[in-house]
Amino acid sequence: MVVIDGKRMDGHKHSYVPGEKLVISPDLRLHKGFGGDLDPITYEVLRHSLWNINEEHGITIVRVSGSPIAAFGYDFNPCIMSEEGEFVYFGPYLQFHSGMQDLNVKWILENRSVNPGIFDGDMFLSNDPWIGTCHQQDTALMCPVFVGDELFCWVGNTLHFADLGGSTPGGWSPAAMTVFDEPVPTPPVKIMERGRLRADISDVFVRRSRLPQSVALDLRAVIAGNTVAKNRILQLVERYGADTVKLAMRRIVDDSERVFLDRLSHIPDGVWRERGYLEVAYPGDRGVYQGMLTLEKQGSHLHFDNAGTDGQVGSINVTYAAWRGGILSVLNPFMGPDLLFAIGGMLRHVSFTPAPGSFTTADHPAAVCNGGGIGTEFSISLANNVLARMMYSSHDVKLRRYFTANNGISQWPVVSLNGVDQRGNPYQNMILDWYAAPVGAYSFRDGIATGGVYWGPKQIAPNVEHNEEMMPILYLYRREIANSGGAGKFVGGATVGIAFTAHGTEQILHQVATCGLTHPTSMGLFGGNPGVPNTYLFQPKAADDEPSLEAMRETAAHPDAIPRLSPKTFNLIQHPGDVYVVWASGAAGYGDPLERDLDRVQADLDEGYLTPDVARSDLGVVVEHGAVQAEATAALRKAERETRVGGEDRKGRRTDGPEAGAVGEYVALYAEGGERVQACRRCRTVLAPEEGNYKDGCRMLVKEVAAAHPLMKDPKEFIDVEMVYRQFVCPGCGGLIETEIARVGDAVLHDTQLRLR
Amino acid sequence: MKFICGIDTGGTFTDCYVQDEQGQARTYKAFTTPHDYAEGVFASLSGAAGLYGKGLRELLEGTSRFVVGTTVGTNAFLERKGARVGLLVTRGFADTLHIMRGVGRVTGVDPDATMAMETSAKPQPIIAKDDIREIDERVDSSGQILQAPTRAAVLAATEDLRRQGVTSIAVGYLWAFKNPQNEVMTKSWITEMWPDAFVSCSHEIAPKIGEYERFAATAINAYIGPVVTDYVGRVRRILRENGFSRPILVMECNGGVINEEIIENYPVLTLNSGPAGGVSGSLALARQLNIPNVITTDVGGTSFDVGLVVDGQLALTAISQIGQFEYYVPSIDVQTIGSGGGSVAYVDPARRVISVGPESAGAFPGPVCYEQGGTRPTLTDADVVLGYISPDDFLGGRKRLNRDAAYASMRELGEPLGLTPEETAAGIAQISESQMADLVRRVVISRGHDPRDFILFAYGGAGPVHAAAYGGQLGVKALIVPGGDTAAVWSAFGVATSDVKNTYEYASVFREPFDIAAINKIFATLESRASKDLRSSTDQGHVQYVRELGMRYSTQLHEVYVPVADYPATEESALKLVAAFEQAYGKIYGQEAGFREAGIEIVDFRVVGFVPAEVPAPARIKDAVAVSAVKGQRAVWFAGAYEESLVYSGAHLPVHEAVPGPAIVELATTAIVVPPKFTVTRDDWNNFIVQTVSGNGDGAKTANV
């Protein structure tokens, strides 16, 4: 473990952060396997076989568990790790578990190799967020694989269990103030001992749940998954020899490392920052809290820190494992889309410095049970933009095609339902429709409406009919929400929204525990607008009589007229006839909306993704009778650019030096003699010196935060803090360069600082 | 003379299989003609007739059974050349086919491509948003009609769509499988106004819970309907003009065949029917040889398909996939990877190793050795270099392969990695074979079976070449290359010999204690539909039924189909059903994986109605062999060195004589590679059984029963 500011990052008070070298009992013999040889054919065969083993591991979990969480949500991930906990393969399921599983193995090696010892046939279970999970529901099971008396490698998995106790069914507690209000975290315990399930430990774990049978079943599923993977690896060892298999494992990691290093070599050194906000930390709270993420690239190394993040508060916190997992959920697909989830090689060159006690790397005993819905997604949304900006700066323009702007569900819109179903049985369930969230805009094309987020590619939304069968609800609609994507040169995909009423029951008891209602959490890139915030609307029926289906549809069709819910709403009761509308937070746009191609605008209008009023307000496009008017649009856009500049002549100096590096879509470094300056790429107006903030040279337009998105409402109903939307415009040409959301008084964010050598 | 006749319209060739009363078979390959597929059918049929010294009319007048398998619908779908479809849908749910449950960009996509955001995309929609109309109607989960549609609204929407240029209508209402009345009324109004409209309703096409997969099946049906109908019409014209007057049967994705008139209403049944022919043919052979469990493997030019016969039955999957869409139509459970003879080998720049596939050189430009402009080495090139395939006897000597060109391509590929051309070729084969073995293992194990209980069939152009290598490492009882010269056109054989069959489904949730009377009534209704359809397809044999219930534990999502052993069901047989379900669930998902306390539900009803095909058994091989089977010998690469191996002509190999490896047995358009420590034995019906010398002899005995 490491020590930060005198704080021991050992997984007790502070999150566990392993050091460079693990402290492991000398009695535990590790298989290093430096012998043997590996021809390229055997390597390719083993590479494929190991991938298949990990797939079989995942399939086994789905099969045995059979729970909707595993079978629809795919809320799990299997992995293969080296003897010292380096990832060989990670699975194609929920990506944020990747930041957590290796931490468990390293902690086990450092803390369990002496007492009780690590032996063949053992498996260790853990759901401790301060060690290696994003919230207590996500339970890891790590299995050492021995060849002879040597620890050869690890297989392991993490699965979201339906209920592990605590004050709220399902574990999502909006009102938890400390971990003592939540499911009990369990540091790694040996639940399988030399091939046998320990009845005492198993009972301790199952006893805490409201759904003991389901927990027992899930436990069997994760044990079966590890057993399958372990046996198949041993078969490979038998056929090819331990040293050869180990060489293949190392080579898989080495290869992914080389690809990653090659990509990094095309990216200049620099610092990239992103800032975001979460609101209402607990019921009754009216605060807004700042989270920061800084990425520093130096040579072949990436370093992340969260300095500047506000202190832990209420129920919006996560620990180091979740914060890191959120970052890796972005790093994997953006920087290693072709590595077949062999992420270990990248991790050799990525480090993290958490700020202990901040709400994104909280200390014990902070409340962390909402980590899987709030903090992890928050970490993803910040990492999305620092990595995207870094990749944009690459000399290898191919990398600019690998990232997207922020996807939807940048805060998971919890809709947790409880009550008596249409058949008179008690139920507890969640709406999982949000897995149809949209993909953000690319640097070269539009995002994907309801495309499914990149950090959970296999996650699947249930059918409406399945939900109506499982719960006493009647949907009024499930549709793609027009105008919900962020505007931009390329727009974010449309998000998914639903409206439903209670049906076949007297009432439904609801809980809301999320953030990102009062301001967008899917921030855009290079002037692109953010996606729509999470939207919760609730219209109680007017009279005692249940309104007709037509009347409820009519209500749902006019969202502006429906009262809003707080992001932390407790025990909301819905009767038949009450209309509940929820839209998942949307996907962000890319680039200046005034540069949007008119054919694309016409297509969006034709398909109903865009309405003429928003085409005008957000894209500067004039539409008449459904048709884009090119000439009128050109005039309107020209006028808007002039308005942005403010009519003043602030053009300033222009540079004519050669481009020496891309700061972003609209700002570059230009060489001037021995010096470099940052200037607008459109008109060459000089904005800042080389390491200054280009925004200092921009004209800053400050608007109410509601201006960030056409579907936004005034946030003051739920927060006291004033939020603003800042647009940074080139004073030379009126082109939009970047936007940001901030609390009034927060400094202008310095998002990109290249350090060319 | 009575013939049976099967046509398989594939991507490159239209294969014809004809068998006479004595079981003597002839096959003919003609080119597929995409501008008018019926032309290829005509050519292939005429060619086959010629082999019997007959004219087309003479052949057809003597034909008792004619079956056609077609990829016309599949191609129209994949190339987006179907009809312009209008969709009427429940108000609020117009976007169902666009949302695709949020998985449209990853469904059926290789795992390594799911993370590559740059190229990730949803499939192009088959119905434009502008061609979708929402109708005010609603049924709830109990089947109660909350709102009935009005005639005026339906007619206005239909007229509107028609004016826009729509030529085919799909109707998808929520819960229509539970209570179809709103869809039924809607369809009647549409056909009243527009009598020749092609209307597909979701409760007819796919009566199951889950609106996305149900609407998708309905929309796809509407989309390919007019194209398939046109094709069937053209084939019918050829046949009728040439004297064939019996029902024309069409291959379905469920492994059966059915009357063309039913296909005209349910064209979606022809999607994914390509691999079904081969699997269905395997079932026929498995029955003849009395083998209960078979793994079918088909290695073609671009893909490797794996299917299963378990306990003498074809495994059906409830959900089918095509082009990133998922839809409800029961089809033969076939898993595919892009690994075949045309798979391209390349050096992965990142890893500096050889990788193979999934990209295929296809038929054009094809492998390097074809000399049609292909420059990148393929598995077929490796086969030529290794001596597996004779460069002189390819396609019966009609095409010469250039081994030198293949060899040079291996040198070029392997040299930077320090590999000789032979090592490179052997590596390509080994990599492909290990991927094939991995897929087989995954298919068998993930369905709860043990490979050791199976015999593996290997067919398709490249199946017999690699079977010993990919099958040998699985621990199966034996490998069989079925049908001798038929192995390379095994799909056409399957098409010709499949049972008349169709599946009928109904979905409704029943909880314990089960309402036995209601369950029996549902089966009776499904059977009367089955009987009518099947009788229109054949006047021979008795209609038989397999009745299945889709059951699950209440809180779990996995549905398992359990055969209903006693029918009509009684209270007592219901108990047996529950026990059978629990046993089946345990077998697939592991003992103790069930959650009995939660209760058990019946969610789906399925009747598979079938009339066994009356097909003469293949002719027994005559023992007397006039010609020597040994054609010569050549150097074949096994385990790191060339070994001089005898080359046999499969058609002349004596039966029951185990030929030891290393050896090559040449068949029409393919070859069986017999490595050292393997033997191959020809049985009485022209099947070739490959076994390890130290292997379990039971397999051979079973296969020869």
* CA–CA separation, A376 and A355 (whole Å): 16
* CA–CA separation, B386 and B296 (whole Å): 25
* CA–CA separation, A292 and A274 (whole Å): 6
Q: What percent of chain A has pLDDT over 70?
A: 99
Q: Verify whether the Cβ–Cβ distance B99 to A496 is below 8 Å.
A: yes
Whether residue A97 lies inside any domain: the answer is yes
pLDDT at position B101 is 97
Distance from CA of A668 to the nearest CA of B (A): 24
pLDDT at position A661 is 94
Please name the member of B91, B128, B595 whose beta carbon is closest to the beta carbon of A553. Answer: B91
Q: Verify whether the Cβ–Cβ distance A461 to B102 is below 8 Å.
A: yes
Distance from CA of A706 to the nearest CA of B (A): 28
Q: Verify whether the Cβ–Cβ distance A55 to B111 is below 8 Å.
A: yes
Please name the member of B99, B445, B595 whose beta carbon is closest to the beta carbon of A213. Answer: B595
Interface test with B, best of A465, A469, A496, A555 (most B CBs within 10 A): A465
Does the CA dihedral B188-B193-B196-B199 come out positive or negative?
Answer: negative
Picking from A334, A70, A89, the residue whose alpha carbon sits closest to that of residue A215 is A70
**A442 reaches B (C-beta below 8 A):** yes
Give pLDDT tens digits for A624-642.
999 999 999 999 999 999 9
**Phi-psi label, residue A526: left if phi above 0, alpha if psi -120 to 50, beta otherwise:** left
> Which positions ≥6 away from A544 have C-beta within 8 Å?
none
Interface test with B, best of A45, A421, A505 (most B CBs within 10 A): A45
**A255 reaches B (C-beta below 8 A):** yes
Residues of chain B in contact with residue A213, where contact means CB-CB under 8 angstroms, are 595, 597-598
Q: What percent of chain A has pLDDT over 90?
A: 85
Q: Which domain holds residue A716?
A: 650-757
Distance from CA of B358 to the nearest CA of A (A): 13
Q: What percent of chain B has pLDDT over 70?
A: 96
**Does residue B703 register a pLDDT over 50?**
no
Q: Among all residues of chain B, which has the CA nearest to that of A221?
A: B593
pLDDT at position B696 is 46
* CA–CA separation, A710 and A614 (whole Å): 7
Q: Verify whether the Cβ–Cβ distance B558 to A475 is below 8 Å.
A: no
Do A676 and A581 lie in one domain? The reply is no
For A408-422, B92-106, B300-314, B638-652, which range has the lowest pLDDT when averaged over its residues? B300-314
As a whole number, the mean pLDDT across chain B is: 89
Whether residue A611 lies inside any domain: the answer is no
Residues of chain A in contact with residue B353, where contact means CB-CB under 8 angstroms, are 40-41, 43-44, 47
**B194 reaches A (C-beta below 8 A):** no
**Does residue B221 register a pLDDT over 50?**
yes
**A452 reaches B (C-beta below 8 A):** yes
Say how many CB pairs under 8 Å bridge A and B: 237
Q: Verify whether the Cβ–Cβ distance B593 to A459 is below 8 Å.
A: no
Give pLDDT tens digits for B46-97.
998 998 899 999 999 999 999 999 888 888 898 889 999 999 999 999 999 9
pLDDT at position A476 is 98
Whether residue A325 lies inside any domain: the answer is no
Strands in A535-539's sheet, in edge-to-edge order, are A473-480, A496-502, A579-583, A535-539
**Does residue B702 register a pLDDT over 70?**
no
Do B255 and B272 contact (CB within 8 A), yes or no? no
For A212, the enclosing helix (H) or strand (E) is helix A212-240
Q: Verify whether the Cβ–Cβ distance A478 to B93 is below 8 Å.
A: yes
**A426 reaches B (C-beta below 8 A):** no
pLDDT at position B626 is 63
**A457 reaches B (C-beta below 8 A):** yes
SS3 A549: helix
Give pLDDT tens digits for A273-296.
999 999 999 999 999 999 999 999
Average pLDDT over residues B484-513: 89
Q: What value of ipTM does the predicted structure carry?
A: 0.96
pLDDT at position A263 is 96
Domain count, chain A: 3
Please name the member of B442, B592, B597 whose beta carbon is closest to the beta carbon of A220. Answer: B592
* CA–CA separation, A124 and A201 (whole Å): 11
Q: Verify whether the Cβ–Cβ distance A460 to B101 is below 8 Å.
A: yes
pLDDT level of residue B698 (50, 70, 90 thresholds): very low
Instruction: Tell me the domain boundaries of chain B.
Output: 80-224, 453-493+620-703, 500-611
Do A490 and A528 contact (CB within 8 A), yes or no? yes
Do A710 and A692 contact (CB within 8 A), yes or no? no
Classify each residue of B150-179 as buried b or exposed e, where b means 16 or more C-beta atoms within 10 Å of its C-beta: eeebbbebbeebbeeebbbbbbbbbbbbbb
**Does residue B704 register a pLDDT over 90?**
no
Q: Which one of A258, A277, A304 terminates a domain?
A: A258
**Does residue B623 register a pLDDT over 80?**
no
Give pLDDT tens digits for A362-415.
999 999 999 889 999 999 999 999 999 999 999 999 999 999 999 999 999 999
Average pLDDT over residues B273-301: 91
For B450-459, B502-511, B540-549, B556-565, which range has the lowest pLDDT when averaged over its residues? B556-565
Instruction: Report B:584-643 residues touching A (Cβ under 8 A).
Output: 588-590, 592-593, 595, 597-598
As a whole number, the mean pLDDT across chain A is: 94
Residues of chain B in contact with residue A44, where contact means CB-CB under 8 angstroms, are 351, 353-355, 427, 431
pLDDT at position B212 is 98
Q: Verify whether the Cβ–Cβ distance B351 to A463 is below 8 Å.
A: no
Residues of chain B in contact with residue A479, where contact means CB-CB under 8 angstroms, are 92-95, 99
Does the CA dihedral A111-A115-A120-A123 come out positive or negative?
Answer: negative
| Structure tokens, B461 | 């152009």
Q: Among all residues of chain A, which has the CA nearest to that of B414?
A: A40
Partners of residue A704 on adjacent β-strands: A724
How many beta carbons lie within 10 A of that of residue A229, not counting itself? 29
Average pLDDT over residues B230-257: 93
Instruction: Report B:142-181 residues touching A (Cβ under 8 A).
Output: 142, 146-147, 174-175
Q: Verify whether the Cβ–Cβ distance A452 to B136 is below 8 Å.
A: no
Helix axes B274-289, B490-497, angle to 10 degrees: 70
Do A550 and A660 lie in one domain? The reply is no
pLDDT level of residue B350 (50, 70, 90 thresholds): confident
CA distances in angstroms from B119 to A336, A403, B113, listed in the order given? 14, 11, 8
pLDDT level of residue B701 (50, 70, 90 thresholds): very low
B659, amino acid identity: V
Residues of chain B in contact with residue A47, where contact means CB-CB under 8 angstroms, are 351, 353
Do A556 and A688 lie in one domain? The reply is no
Whether residue A324 lies inside any domain: the answer is no
Give pLDDT tens digits for B640-678.
899 999 999 998 899 999 999 899 999 877 899 999 999
Q: What percent of chain B has pLDDT over 90?
A: 60
Residues of chain A in contact with residue B590, where contact means CB-CB under 8 angstroms, are 63-64, 220, 224
Q: Verify whether the Cβ–Cβ distance B211 to A40 is below 8 Å.
A: no
Residues of chain A in contact with residue B115, where contact means CB-CB under 8 angstroms, are 92, 332-333, 336-337, 341, 454, 457
pLDDT level of residue A648 (50, 70, 90 thresholds): low
Residues of chain B in contact with residue A462, where contact means CB-CB under 8 angstroms, are 101
**B117 reaches A (C-beta below 8 A):** yes
Residues of chain A in contact with residue B598, where contact means CB-CB under 8 angstroms, are 213
Do A512 and A659 lie in one domain? The reply is no
pLDDT at position A755 is 94
Q: Which one of A258, A287, A318 terminates a domain?
A: A258
Q: Verify whether the Cβ–Cβ distance A448 to B120 is below 8 Å.
A: yes
Mind giving me the DSSP string for A110-123? Answer: HHHTTTT---TT-E
**Does residue B486 register a pLDDT over 80?**
yes
Please name the member of A92, A220, A468 whose beta carbon is closest to the beta carbon of B593. Answer: A220
Please name the member of A214, A341, A475 whose beta carbon is closest to the beta carbon of B92. Answer: A475
What is the separation of C-alpha B249 from the centre of its chain, rounded to a whole number of angstroms?
17
For A186-190, B26-30, B459-463, which range has the lowest pLDDT when averaged over its residues? B26-30
Please name the member of A92, A251, A439 whose beta carbon is closest to the beta carbon of B114. Answer: A92
Whether residue A536 lies inside any domain: the answer is yes
* CA–CA separation, B85 and B220 (whole Å): 9
Do A166 and A38 lie in one domain? The reply is yes
**Does residue B682 register a pLDDT over 80?**
yes
Interface test with B, best of A44, A498, A553 (most B CBs within 10 A): A44
Which of residues A203 and B584 earns the better pLDDT score? A203
How many beta carbons lie within 10 A of that of residue B36, not counting itself? 12
**Does residue B624 register a pLDDT over 70?**
no
Distance from CA of A403 to the nearest CA of B (A): 7
Whether residue A20 lies inside any domain: the answer is no
Do A75 and A221 contact (CB within 8 A), yes or no? no
Which of residues B310 and A501 earns the better pLDDT score? A501
What one-character DSSP code corresponds to residue B225?
H
Which of residues B532 and A360 earns the better pLDDT score? A360
Q: Verify whether the Cβ–Cβ distance A221 to B593 is below 8 Å.
A: yes
Do A153 and A53 lie in one domain? The reply is yes
pLDDT at position B705 is 29
Average pLDDT over residues A708-732: 95
Which residue do the tokens 């005995």 mark? B701
**B558 reaches A (C-beta below 8 A):** yes
Distance from CA of A76 to the nearest CA of B (A): 16
Whether residue A711 lies inside any domain: the answer is yes
C-alpha Rg value of chain A to the nearest Å: 26
pLDDT at position B699 is 38
Instruction: Report A:221-250 residues touching B (Cβ under 8 A).
Output: 221, 224
Residues of chain A in contact with residue B593, where contact means CB-CB under 8 angstroms, are 63-66, 217, 220-221
Query: In terms of CATH architecture, what is B80-224?
Result: 3-Layer(aba) Sandwich (3.40)
pLDDT at position A138 is 95
Please name the member of A66, A452, A479 whose beta carbon is closest to the beta carbon of B557. Answer: A66
Do A572 and A454 lie in one domain? The reply is yes
The CATH T-level fold of domain B500-611 is Dna Ligase; domain 1 (3.30.1490)
SS3 A180: helix
